Amino acid sequence: MLNIVLVEPEIPQNCGNIARTCAATGSRLHLVRPLGFDISERAVRRAGLDYWHLVQVCDYENLEALFALHPEAKDDLWLATTKAPRDYTRAQFSPDCWLFFGKETAGLPESFRREHYDRCIRLPMREEARSLNLSNSVAILTYEALRQNHFPGLLGTGEMKNNINSK
C-alpha cells in the first residue's frame, strides 16, 4: 500500500483533496503535526468529506514519531521538493513506498532534505513558477508510483465497457 505523508500541512482544502486521492487509490495518509486545521470526526463531518471513511489516516506529533512507528519508511522514501536535483521520472517507486510532501508555505525541512538528498525528487516546471498546488503534486506522484507498479488493485473497468457496441 502506497503511503502519502504530509509534513505540517496548513490548508484544509488541500488535505481534503489529498484524502480523496488516497480514498480513490487505496493509499494510506500520514499527517505529521502541527496541522493547520482540525481533523476531528466532527470537523470532518462538518466539512462534508463523505469519503473520509475510505481513508486510513495516521497522525503523528513529528517526523521522529512517524519513523519510530514505521522504521521501514526510511528505507523506501521519496521526498517531493522543488529544490531537488532530479525529476520524478528517475525514481523507481515500490508498491509500498513512502512519498513525503512539505507544508504549502515552506516545503519539507531543510535538515530532512539534506539527510535524504539522494531521495529528493521534483516535478519539472518553469523557473518563474514557484510550485504546483500541493494536492496536484500529490496526485501526480501518487499516480506515477501506481503506474510503475501496474496500478495494484485498481484496474477494474468503467461502466462504458459493455456499452461500446450498444449505439
Identify the burial level of 19 via C-beta atoms within 10 angstroms of its C-beta, where 0-12 means exposed, 13-18 middle and 19 or more buried: buried
Q: How far apart are the C-alpha atoms of 47 and 27, rounded to whole Å?
A: 21
The residues with which 6 forms a beta bridge, in sequence order, are 31, 101
pTM equals 0.92
Residue pLDDT, tens place only, 66-107: 999 999 999 999 999 999 999 999 999 999 999 999 999 999
Mean pLDDT for 6-25 is 93
The residue type of 133 is: N
Closest CA to 79 of 57, 50, 110, 40: 110
**Torsion angle in degrees (nearest 10) through CA of 56, 60, 62, 63:** -40
Whether 36 contacts 9, CB under 8 Å: yes
Confidence of residue 162 (pLDDT cuts 50, 70, 90): low
* DSSP of 111-145: HHHHHTGGGEEB----TTS----HHHHHHHHHHHH
Residue pLDDT, tens place only, 97-151: 999 999 999 999 999 999 999 999 999 999 888 889 999 999 999 999 999 999 9
Q: How far apart are the C-alpha atoms of 122 and 57, rounded to whole Å?
A: 25
Q: Which residues of 98-128 are buried (b: 16+ CB within 10 A; e: fewer)?
A: bbbbbbbeebbeeebbeebeebbbbbeeeee
Residue with cell 501506481: 146
Q: How far apart are the C-alpha atoms of 80 and 97, rounded to whole Å?
A: 13
pLDDT at 23: 95
